[in-house]
């Protein structure tokens, strides 16, 4: 009854639009490794990791010790009006890892705020309020980021501080170009980008914002090289490229540290959040120095880059690199995708299995290939009953999202595959 009582209290004081998973929502009371235990004592294998945020897993001594060490100093907060050693050290590491020339870093509290900052930088730098975004995208829940979110299920207002034009490319499975070869798909999307620039903009666009893999959009992704082809067009107009790495950063895609690197291109700016803090609230922007320094007024972030979050993030980054979790994501992500594709062979309800590394989407469809959100909801519930937590997303709410902590083991992947095979 613990969950029912808390659910009643939740509904009394929290907004009705605040989504909860499951017909009977659960409270997570404790966790270790890749497993979480709810308030009623049921333990689950977690393959959604707090929406890709608990990248290292739960109860990691190295990260907990770094946080305790900072707590012991008594300085939980100082604001960015003072020097913060761990903030500077973390910025140095991220600037180097970014591959962006003369990079500088600004820390925020979330991916939403990071993307808002990137929009402010780009529109101010280019003196333009025009932005290009991809259909089926998601970039956050603030005013500007909702405006560039190409998914009506997450767009709460048609009002916008920017003028947005939408291009094809991110969601291939239901694209009008889906049956083309990779090269022809890229060419068709580039032609669409040129037409959008010529018909729905004044040419002097501030930036294009892209997710290398669309997260909320159901882990959909274009062929490698699309964004390099886009950037050739953007460069003709002087348009900046911003890569939203909130979900694809820190090696989760396996083959690269940043998702955009699969396209062989260096963006002008990248935004990040989620996995860097392994549960602590942290996000930020890393950008070319001239772009980052282009603000013409003072600006700070009261909590962004605070001593607790940056100390924890440094420990998370060290752990991720020291244990080569990017390689683990590549190896076990391939195993997960191969297993799901084998399961899908005789299950027509599975329309598509896609992803990279430990970002894997399973799109559920009806008899004619139409989106089937009811099936996805049933799989979400069935997986929980079987002891596995997964996510759900997609433009139509019909995609199961799998993104376990990057420390996941071979045995845990096989366990998850067994549960999903039964449920599907």
Residue 75 burial (CB count, 10 A):
13
Q: What are phi and psi of 140, to 5 degrees?
A: 135, 180
Strand-pair partners of 402: 360
- Could you give the strand order of the β-sheet that contains 240-244, starting from the edge strand earlier in sequence? 103-108, 283-288, 269-272, 240-244, 207-210, 130-134, 163-167
Give 372-379's long-range contacts (Cβ < 8 A, gap of 24+): 372/398, 373/397, 373/398, 375/349, 376/400, 378/423, 379/420, 379/423, 379/424
- Based on the domain organization, do 312 and 248 belong to the same domain? yes
What size, in residues, is the chain?
424
Q: How far apart are CA 355 and CA 335, in angstroms?
A: 12
pTM exceeds 0.95: yes
> Residue 180: which domain range?
65-322
Query: What tens digit of pLDDT does each residue of 200-251 get?
Result: 999 999 999 999 999 999 999 999 999 999 999 999 999 999 999 999 999 9
Q: What are phi and psi of 356, to 5 degrees?
A: -140, 145
Residue 28 burial (CB count, 10 A):
14
- Based on the domain organization, do 287 and 412 belong to the same domain? no
- Based on the domain organization, do 37 and 149 belong to the same domain? no
- Based on the domain organization, do 75 and 125 belong to the same domain? yes
- Could you give the strand order of the β-sheet that contains 391-393, starting from the edge strand earlier in sequence? 350-356, 359-364, 399-402, 391-393
Q: Give the domain CATH number at 352.
A: 3.90.1150.10
- Based on the domain organization, do 359 and 282 belong to the same domain? no
Q: End of a domain among 322, 339, 373?
A: 322
Q: Give the domain CATH number at 210.
A: 3.40.640.10
- Based on the domain organization, do 311 and 334 belong to the same domain? no
Q: What are phi and psi of 391, to 5 degrees?
A: -110, 175
- Based on the domain organization, do 126 and 51 belong to the same domain? no
Could you list the pLDDT tens digit for every one of the 424 residues in the chain? 689 999 999 999 999 999 999 999 999 999 999 999 999 999 999 999 999 999 999 999 999 999 999 999 999 999 999 999 999 999 999 999 999 999 999 999 999 999 999 999 999 999 999 999 999 999 999 999 999 999 999 998 889 999 999 999 999 999 999 999 999 999 999 999 999 999 999 999 999 999 999 999 999 999 999 999 999 999 999 999 999 999 999 999 999 999 999 999 999 999 999 999 999 999 999 999 999 999 999 999 999 999 999 999 999 999 999 999 999 999 999 999 999 999 999 999 999 999 999 999 999 999 999 999 999 999 999 999 999 999 999 999 999 999 999 999 999 999 999 999 999 9
Q: End of a domain among 297, 322, 347?
A: 322
Q: How far apart are CA 384 and CA 376, in angstroms?
A: 12
Supply the angle between the helices 226-237 and 182-200 in degrees, to the nearest 10: 30
- Based on the domain organization, do 109 and 41 belong to the same domain? no
- Based on the domain organization, do 78 and 158 belong to the same domain? yes
Of 384, 362, 387, residue with least CA distance to 375: 362
* Residue 167 CA to its chain's centroid (Å): 20
What pLDDT score does 390 carry?
A: 98
Q: How far apart are CA 80 and CA 301, in angstroms?
A: 6
- Based on the domain organization, do 140 and 225 belong to the same domain? yes
- Based on the domain organization, do 89 and 238 belong to the same domain? yes
Of 280, 287, 218, residue with least CA distance to 247: 218
- Based on the domain organization, do 127 and 39 belong to the same domain? no
Number of folded domains that form the chain: 2
């Amino acid at each position: 009854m613990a969950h029912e009582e808390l659910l009643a209290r939740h509904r009394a004081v929290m907004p009705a639009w605040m989504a909860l998973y499951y017909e009977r929502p659960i409270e997570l009371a404790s966790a270790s490794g890749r497993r979480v235990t709810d308030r009623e004592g049921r333990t689950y294998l977690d393959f959604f990791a707090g929406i890709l945020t608990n990248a290292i897993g739960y109860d990691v001594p190295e990260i907990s010790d770094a946080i305790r060490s900072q707590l012991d100093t008594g300085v939980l907060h100082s604001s960015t009006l003072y020097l913060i050693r761990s903030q500077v050290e973390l910025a140095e590491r991220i600037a180097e890892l970014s591959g962006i020339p003369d990079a500088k870093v600004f820390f925020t509290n979330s991916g939403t705020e990071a993307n808002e900052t990137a929009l402010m930088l780009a529109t101010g730098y280019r003196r333009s309020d025009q932005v290009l975004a991809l259909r089926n995208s998601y970039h956050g829940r603030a005013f500007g980021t909702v405006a560039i979110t190409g998914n009506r299920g997450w767009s709460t207002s048609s009002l916008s501080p920017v003028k947005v034009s939408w291009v094809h490319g991110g969601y291939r499975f239901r694209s009008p170009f889906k049956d083309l070869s990779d090269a022809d798909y890229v060419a068709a999307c580039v032609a669409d980008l040129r037409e959008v620039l010529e018909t729905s903009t004044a040419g002097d666009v501030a930036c294009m914002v892209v997710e290398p893999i669309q997260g909320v959009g159901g882990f959909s992704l274009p062929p490698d090289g699309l964004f390099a082809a886009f950037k050739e067009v953007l460069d003709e107009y002087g348009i900046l490229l911003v890569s939203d790495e909130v979900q694809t950063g820190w090696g989760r895609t396996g083959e690269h540290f940043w998702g955009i690197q699969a396209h062989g291109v260096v963006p002008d700016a990248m935004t990040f959040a989620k996995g860097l803090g392994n549960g602590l609230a942290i996000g930020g922007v890393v950008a070319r120095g001239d772009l980052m320094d282009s603000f013409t007024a003072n600006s700070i972030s009261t909590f962004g880059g605070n001593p607790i979050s940056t100390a924890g993030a440094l420990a998370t980054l060290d752990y991720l690199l020291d244990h080569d979790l990017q390689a683990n994501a590549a190896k076990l992500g391939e195993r997960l995708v191969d297993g799901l594709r084998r399961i899908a062979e005789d299950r027509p309800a599975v329309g598509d299995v896609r992803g990279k590394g430990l970002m894997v989407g399973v799109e559920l469809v009806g008899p004619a290939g139409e989106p089937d959100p009811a099936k996805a909801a049933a799989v979400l519930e069935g997986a929980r009953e079987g002891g596995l937590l997964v996510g759900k997303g997609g433009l139509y709410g019909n995609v199961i999202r799998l993104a376990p902590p990057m420390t996941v083991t071979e045995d845990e992947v096989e366990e998850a595959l067994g549960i999903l095979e039964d449920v599907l």
